[in-house]
Structure 1
Amino acid sequence: MNSAPSVSLPALLAREMRLGERLLWSGQPDARRAMLKPFGFYLFAVPWSAFSLFWEGIAIRMAFTGAPALMGLVMVLFGLPFVVIGLAMMAAPFSARRTAHRTIYGVTDRRLVELIAGRSLKVRSVEASSIGPVTRRQRESGHGTLSIETGSHRDSEGNRTTDTFVFESVPDVARVEALVSRLRETMTPA
């Protein structure tokens, strides 16, 4: 399977522009930093997977060496989900890296856009009129994460939940924040 989209991400983003809309900024998340975020899962997954595989080995051995067949089969089946969960946790950093390579963010003169190219194209956008408070987390390198509040809703339990639009691990995050703030100000009624 080809890991890169057949069309470049900037070209896909350009296709999403509306008539008369101008792209002010676009950028991709830093794939290396995206990989580090779920790395804690990986560290936990190693002993989890080792124990799960050990369990499966014992269960398979019991199933084929004289233990009651039903008991051995139950133990093998019981252990399988734990093996699958362990392998999924071990794959999490690599999956995050692959997603970062397929993601591009954009700030236009009308909205914020996130595009993820994969087997299908996922496009998420927020109109400038929905932009609320902005939170910036920045590293010394200038890379950082921008969290933009876009509204709120009540969840199934009746609790108020804040909706956010996130530009994860982008270069020159302070510049992106300034563009987003300027966009919000232009759309705020006087």
Structure 2
Amino acid sequence: MGVDLLPDEHVLWQGEPARRTVFTRPDLRWIRFSLKFHAVLFLLIVAVAGVVQGWSGYFGSWPVVFVMCAGFAVLNIAEPLIWRRLTLHRTTYYVTDQRVVSVPGRRARSVRLTEIVTLLFTEEPDGSGQIRLDGRMMPDGFGNGSVGELIHVPAVREVVALLSELTGQPAKQR
């Protein structure tokens, strides 16, 4: 098995993502938010760079500032999606009697059932879907140590019903 169980912990469900696509419907919200955020950040950086330029004449070339800002924004927007592309094909999900675990490679990420804030899910026509376990706007990426979402879960209603029973929270469909 790909996960180290805690003492007295039992696996109740195990599965792998049903599809290999990287994008999900909520990702469009993330990309839209991130573009707005980075546009504001870009304007602030340009304003600060303008002040520094006027004060010290430090920047010899403004296109370098623009390229650096644009590169930073693209990397921040794309990082979770790149991470997902690199790891989704080898990811395994576990629901135990104590936590939800995602193993996207060598290191497992988990969240205790008592720490699950929200239980939202979307269902695709084939019965697979996405389960959201917290209120994060950003998709799960490299820097996240806990599980915030399970994507492309086969038989999503079965897993949501199990999580709802274990956490005592009602599941809401988006």
- Shorter-chain TM-score: what band? 0.5 to 0.7
What RMSD over aligned residues (CA atoms) do the two structures have, in Å?
3.8
Distance in 2 separating the partners of 1:74 and 1:122: 45
Q: CA deviation at 1:126?
A: 1.0
Q: CA deviation at 1:101?
A: 2.8
AA aligned to 1:22 is: H
Highest Rg: 1 or 2? 1
SS of 1:35 mapped into structure 2: coil
Q: Which residue of 1 aligns with 2:104?
A: 116
Query: Which ranges in structure 2 are unaligned for 5 or more consecutive residues?
Result: 36-56, 136-146, 169-174
Q: Which residue of 2 aligns with 1:166?
A: 149
Distance in 2 separating the partners of 1:105 and 1:98: 16
SS of 1:141 mapped into structure 2: coil
Distance in 2 separating the partners of 1:33 and 1:132: 27
AA aligned to 1:77 is: V
Superposition map of 1:23-172 within 5 A: 23-30=11-18, 32-35=20-23, 38=27, 73-82=60-69, 84-85=71-72, 88=75, 93-117=81-105, 121-127=107-113, 129-131=114-116, 134-148=119-133, 165-172=148-155
Question: TM-score, length-normalised on structure 2?
Answer: 0.55
AA aligned to 1:171 is: P
Structure with the higher strand share, 1 or 2: 1
Alignment size in residue pairs:
132
Distance in 1 separating the partners of 2:165 and 2:70: 49
Q: CA deviation at 1:94?
A: 4.0
Query: Which ranges in structure 1 are unaligned for 5 or more consecutive residues?
Result: 1-10, 46-69, 151-163, 186-190
AA aligned to 2:62 is: M
* Aligned residues of 1:26 and 1:107 also touching (Cα < 8 A): yes
Structure with the higher helix share, 1 or 2: 1
* Aligned residues of 1:104 and 1:116 also touching (Cα < 8 A): yes
Of 179, 183, 187, the match for 2:162: 179
Using CA pairs below 8 Å that are at least 6 residues apart, which structure has the higher relative contact order? 2
Q: Which residue of 2 aligns with 1:7?
A: none
Identity, in percent, stands at: 22
AA aligned to 2:164 is: S
SS of 1:17 mapped into structure 2: coil
* Aligned residues of 2:20 and 2:89 also touching (Cα < 8 A): no
Q: CA deviation at 1:170?
A: 1.0
